[in-house]
Amino acid sequence: MSSILKTLLTSSKVQESEEWDALYDSLPVVVAESSKELGEALSRLDEVGGYGYIATWRKNLFAFNPKLISKRCGLIDENGNLLKAARVPKN
């Protein structure tokens, strides 16, 4: 388990998941500790239509351009703080 995931799971907003790295507001969370891992994280979220969250270190946010992240995908930091809300799929 990565250190970001250990920190993330201490947040009351984040729950453990068997299928994903974690869950935030019942949406999947995938960890991208650096911008190099962003492509892989987005690919994993494609399984659920891109709806979910990417978790990253707050100190690395300068490397992430939220406009390049899918509009459906949200962004949270290692403490479970919401940085960009994910759009919730319509039923």
Convert the pLDDT of each residue in 45-68 to its tens digit: 888 887 899 999 988 877 766 666
Residue 40's beta-bridge partner residues? none
* pLDDT surpassing 60 at residue 83: yes
Are the beta carbons of 52 and 27 closer than 8 angstroms?
A: yes
Rounded distance between C-alpha atoms, residue 10 and residue 86, angstroms = 21
Residue 50 has which token pair? Answer: 């891109």
Convert the pLDDT of each residue in 19-39 to its tens digit: 999 999 899 999 998 888 888
Beta strands in the chain (DSSP E): 14-15, 22-24, 27-31, 52-56, 73-77, 82-84
Which DSSP state fits 47? G
